[in-house]
Amino acid sequence: MPFPAHPREDHAVHIDFETSENSTLGVEWEVALVDRESGELAPRAQEVLEAVVGEYPELGEEGDHPQVTGEFLQNTVEMVTGVCSAVPEAVEHLAQTQDRIRKITDPRSLEIFAAGTHPFSDWTEQPVVDAERYYKVLDRAQYWGRQMVIFGMHVHVGIDHRDKALPVLDGLMNYYPHLLALSANSPYWCGHDTGYASHRALIFQQLSTAGLPFHFDSWSEYEAYVSDLMETGVIEEISENRWDIRPVPRFGTVEMRVCDGPSNLREIGALAALTQCLVESFSRTLDEGRSIAVMPPWHHQENKWRAARYGLDAVVIRDAQNHERPVAEDLTEVLNRLEPLAAELGCADELGYVETMMTGETGYQRQRRIAEANGGDLRAVVRDIVAQNREIR
C-alpha cells in the first residue's frame, strides 16, 4: 500500500501560533569558554552562569526571560536578547550581556570563543550538561550526539499572521546557501582542516530531527507532521524538532538556525539584518497577494552541501529550472534589492557590513589565513578569534 501524498490530518494536534509584531526580532548567540593559556575548551559554563546571575539577577530567571543560559555542553554559554524592534538594539543587548559575562570570566583566566567549531579540542573529552533532556539526546543519537561540539547563531523574526509562517520559511530556504556561505566559520575539527567552510552544518544534521525542513502546503499539514512525530515517540514537545529553519509558534516567529557562530558583533549584526530584511520582504510579498517560489527539496539539499563545502566560492542553484549562479554574485544583487528595506527597518549599516564581509574575509577564510601565517598552529586561530570578539564591536 503506498504512503499518502500528504501527512494525515485526522489526528493532528492543534498548534496555536502567537502572532508577533511584524519583523520584530530576537537573537541567540552560542559561544564557548576557553582556557586563556592553552586555548582548549573549558567545561566551566555552570560556574560562570551562576556567578553572572548572582551578580546580575536580571539576566537570569528573575528577569523577563533568561538572557544567559547553558546549552548542551558544559563549555557553552548562550546569550539571548529580548524582543527587539531593530537590529542595532539586538546587537547592543548582546554587547551588554557579553561585557557582563567578561567581568566574570576575565579573573578566572577564561576567554569567550565564538565560531562554529573549536579548531583542535577533542570532542570526546567534552562533558554534557547534567540534564535529562540532554542525556536523552545522547542516548538516542549515540556517536553522533557526542559530536555536537558546535556553536551557532539563531535569529527569530516576528510574523503577524500564522498563515505566513510556512511560506516565509520557504522563502528563507531559497537563501539558505547565502546565509550559510556568509556565516561559515568552522573549517577545522580535532586539529584537521576538513576541507569544508562549515563543518558544523554537516555535523548538526546527524540528529534525527535536525537539518533541512520539509515543505507543507498548509498549517494543518504541519500540525499533522508534528502529531506524527509525537505519536511515534520521535519528540515529546515541539522544540525538539530541530530544523535549520523552523516556525516557533509560542513566540510567533520564524527562526533561522542556519548560521555558524560568528566571531564578533559586527558579523552578528550583518547576519541578523540580512535575515530580518529577507523575512520582511517575504511578508510584504504575501500581503500583496503574491506567492513565494518553492524549490525542489533536492535543490535545497545540494545548495546546503555546496555552501558548507565551498563557502562564498559556491555556485548555487537558484530556481526550479536549474539556473545556477555564484552565491557571492547573487548576494550582491540581493543586497542591492534589500537596501531600501534595510533603511526603513533601521539596519542599513548592519546590512551594508555584509558587503564588507564578502570583500574582506569571512570566518572560515580568516581561520585558514591565520593558521597558514602561523605555520599551521591552530592555537593562533583561537587567539585571533578571542581577540576579534574583544575588539570588533
pLDDT at 201: 97
Q: Smallest Cα–Cα separation from 301: which of 144, 120, 173?
A: 173
Higher per-residue confidence, 55 vs 133 = 55
Residue 172: all three cell numbers together: 528563507
Please state, in angstroms and rounded to a whole number, the distance separating the CA atoms of residues 30 and 378.
Answer: 21
AA identity, residue 47: E
Give the CATH number for residue 332.
Answer: 3.30.590.20
Number of alpha helices (DSSP H) and beta strands (DSSP E) in the chain? 14, 11
Q: Is residue 108 scored above 80 in pLDDT? A: yes
Q: Residues 72, 128: contact at Cβ < 8 Å?
A: yes
Higher per-residue confidence, 5 vs 24 = 24
Alpha-carbon separation of residue 369 from 38, 246, 296 (angstroms): 20, 34, 36
In a domain, 210, yes or no: yes
Q: Smallest Cα–Cα separation from 146: which of 120, 121, 128?
A: 128
* Percent of the chain clearing pLDDT 90 (strictly above): 81
In a domain, 1, yes or no: no
pLDDT at 64: 60
Average pLDDT, the chain: 92
Q: Which range marks the domain in which residue 358 is found?
A: 24-391
Average pLDDT, integer, range 191-195: 98
In a domain, 16, yes or no: no
The number of folded domains in the chain is: 1
Alpha-carbon separation of residue 89 from 80, 381, 388 (angstroms): 12, 30, 21
- Write the CB contacts of 69 (distance below 8 Å, at least 6 apart in sequence): 49, 77, 78, 80
- Write the CB contacts of 363 (distance below 8 Å, at least 6 apart in sequence): 115, 116, 183, 184, 185, 186, 260, 262, 263, 267
- Write the CB contacts of 307 (distance below 8 Å, at least 6 apart in sequence): 176, 177, 178, 180, 181, 184, 197, 198, 201, 314, 316, 327
Question: How many C-beta neighbours within 10 Å does residue 389 have?
Answer: 21
In a domain, 9, yes or no: no
In a domain, 73, yes or no: yes
Average pLDDT, integer, range 260-286: 98
Q: Is residue 2 scored above 50 in pLDDT? A: no
Q: Please tell me whether residue 66 adopts helix, strand or coil conformation.
A: coil
In a domain, 12, yes or no: no
In a domain, 2, yes or no: no
Sequence-ordered alpha helix ranges (H) in the chain: 45-55, 87-105, 132-141, 143-146, 162-173, 176-183, 199-204, 219-231, 265-287, 297-310, 327-345, 348-359, 363-373, 378-391
In a domain, 158, yes or no: yes
Q: Is residue 5 scored above 60 in pLDDT? A: no
